[in-house]
Structure 1
Amino acid sequence: MYNLLMTAGEDDWNSPTWSISTGRYLEHTVQMLRNRFESLSQDAVQQLKQMPTLFAYEDFRDLPARVGRITEIQQLHHELRITLAVDPAVAPIPQSVLRTIYHDLDVNTRNLEHCRTHWAIKDIDLVDVLTRANLLNRAQLPPQPRPPKVFISYSWDSPEHRQWVASLAGTLRSNGIDATLDQWHVRGGEDLAGFMERSIREADRVLVICTEAYVERALGRQGGVGYEHTMVTGELMRNVGTSKFIPIVRQSGSTVVLPTELNTRLHFNLGPGTDYSSQLQALIRDLHNVQTPIPPLGPNPFY
């Protein structure tokens, strides 16, 4: 079996996450498989993550499909949010080539399945189909690592600052980091406290954008910043050695100020007048857990 994810979005498979209406989950899927997976139980989710996945675009896009895995599934109000990982060892499949194997992939062109955004499960051996079409030279598709999941905590200092934070989050996502931001992920009527708690709990790392205003509100436990920082403080007290919380400095003064609980932590300075590019690249490397190469230890020259 394999997952078929079809989208009309122009650049969806270059992003670490994708959302789809729950009503389009299991479209173009035979009833036996619908019965098996519609509950999205813990066991069903685990099976979906173990299946190879074909990430395809609707036919009118004429964009290449990718092969990989679903690494995480979140059930939201009226949609499913998946985290995906594309297999870099499998070359993109041009749309013109994909059209020639629709029948083998069980894509129903008579019902215009190739022109509909949906998530289907097919009782087809994807590896076998791709191998016979000379699109794959491996006997199996190995699991793919889950993209790092990051939550951004910040204060609404000004419209300009909110835009700066959104731009930073967009840059992280374009570099394979699943950044969660209230501007994108909070829906009307959603409980903000619950969103903050869930986002901090589920994130691998939390970026704390430390402007002067953020630090002042954190120290005074004011508003949403104060509430978020109380949660940060609690987790730091439970796990003193954690590296989950990363201070990101964006300040105009010459002296960096940080909340008390974070002032001994290594920070990245993305403020004006700093080497923004090198600091940003260092942050991205850190989030991907890519260590700076250490020169090999040479022999004692005096021995």
Structure 2
Amino acid sequence: MYNLFMTAGEDDWNNPTWTIETGRFLEHTVTVLKERFRNLTPEAALYLKQIPALFAYESFRDQPARVGRVTEIQQLQNALRITLAIDPAVAPIPQAVLAALYPALDINTRRFEHCRTHWAVKDVDLVDVLTRASLLGLPQLPPQPIPPKVFVSYSWDSPEHRQWVAQLAGILRANGIDAILDQWHLRGGEDLAVFMERSIREADRVLVICTEGYFDRAMNRQGGVGYEHTMVTGELMRNVGTTKFIPIVRQSGPTALIPTELNTRLRFDLSAGVRYSAELEALIRDLHNVQTQMPPLGPNPYA
């Protein structure tokens, strides 16, 4: 059995997450499997994360398909958001090669399945099909690591600052980090407080973009920033040793203004300047938990 994800979005499978309307879940899936997975119980979700996945593009895109796993399934009000991990051991499958495998993969071209964005579950051994086509040299597909999930907390200082934050989040996503940002993930009619609470709770790390405006709102407990910072303060009080909250400095003054609760935490300075690229690279390494290699300990020269 395998998951089939078909998308019309350009380069969707180069991103760590993908969202689909709930109504398109289990399209082009046989009835017995629809009944098994329709309600997405915890047991069903766990099973879907354990089986392999084929991430394909609608035929008009002419982009190669990838193989991997679903690492997380989030149920939204009218949509499903998956976190995905591409298997680097499996080469991209060109569209023309994949099209020749449609019958073996139970992809129904007569019903234009290859031209429809959807998520199907197929009662087909994906590994066997790919092996027979000489596309896979492994007896099985190993589980894939879950990308780090990062929530970006910031103040709406100006349209330019919002754009800067979106660009930063885009860079993180391009580097395999599942960045959560209100500009992308907050839907019309959604409760702002619930969104902030859920995002902070579910994130592995929280980037606190410390501008002068953020500092003022946080310290005076004003608006959404004040509410978010209250939650941050509460979690820091419950777990003093946590590394979840990372101050990100974006300021023009000589002295960085950082809320008191975060002032002693290791920060990354992404203010404009010659250090920006190095600081950004260090941040990405930290979020991926990649430590700077330590030189080996040599012998005592006086022993």
TM-score by length of 2: 0.99
Partner of 1:200: 200
Matched, 1:237 2:237: yes
Structure 1: how far apart are the matches of 2:99 and 2:257? Answer: 57
Correspondences of 1:152-301 after superposition (within 5 Å): 152-301=152-301
Structure 1: how far apart are the matches of 2:295 and 2:136? Answer: 37
Post-superposition offset of 1:255: 0.8
Structure 1: how far apart are the matches of 2:44 and 2:85? Answer: 19
Matched to 2:170, the amino acid is: G
Structure 2: how far apart are the matches of 1:112 and 1:223? Answer: 49
Matched, 1:95 2:95: yes
Identity of aligned residues (%): 76
Post-superposition offset of 1:273: 2.4
Equivalent residue of 2:111, what SS? coil
Aligned positions, number: 303
Deviation digits for residues 178-213 of structure 1 (CA, Å, limit 9, x no counterpart) = 101111111111100000000000000000000011
Deviation digits for residues 24-74 of structure 1 (CA, Å, limit 9, x no counterpart) = 100000000000000000000000000100000001111100000001111
TM-score by length of 1: 0.99
Post-superposition offset of 1:126: 0.5
Structure 1: how far apart are the matches of 2:137 and 2:230? Answer: 52
Correspondences of 1:70-109 after superposition (within 5 Å): 70-109=70-109
Matched to 1:73, the amino acid is: I
Partner of 1:18: 18
Correspondences of 1:73-152 after superposition (within 5 Å): 73-152=73-152
Equivalent residue of 2:299, what SS? coil
Deviates more, 1:7-16 or 1:291-300: 291-300
Post-superposition offset of 1:272: 1.9
Post-superposition offset of 1:216: 1.1
Matched, 1:59 2:65: no
Structure 1: how far apart are the matches of 2:103 and 2:188? Answer: 42
Deviates more, 1:130-139 or 1:265-274: 265-274
Post-superposition offset of 1:257: 1.7
Equivalent residue of 1:110, what SS? helix
Matched, 1:44 2:44: yes
Matched to 1:58, the amino acid is: E
Structure 1: how far apart are the matches of 2:290 and 2:89? Answer: 19
Equivalent residue of 1:91, what SS? coil
Post-superposition offset of 1:274: 4.5
Equivalent residue of 1:27, what SS? coil
Structure 2: how far apart are the matches of 1:30 and 1:58? Answer: 20
Equivalent residue of 1:281, what SS? helix
Structure 1: how far apart are the matches of 2:81 and 2:189? Answer: 19
Post-superposition offset of 1:219: 0.8
Structure 2: how far apart are the matches of 1:140 and 1:273? Answer: 48
Structure 1: how far apart are the matches of 2:159 and 2:61? Answer: 35
Equivalent residue of 1:145, what SS? coil
Gaps of 5+ in 1: none
Structure 2: how far apart are the matches of 1:63 and 1:223? Answer: 44
Structure 2: how far apart are the matches of 1:295 and 1:27? Answer: 54
Structure 1: how far apart are the matches of 2:118 and 2:87? Answer: 21
Structure 2: how far apart are the matches of 1:283 and 1:93? Answer: 33
Deviation digits for residues 243-275 of structure 1 (CA, Å, limit 9, x no counterpart) = 000000001101112100001100000012251
Gaps of 5+ in 2: none
Structure 1: how far apart are the matches of 2:61 and 2:184? Answer: 25
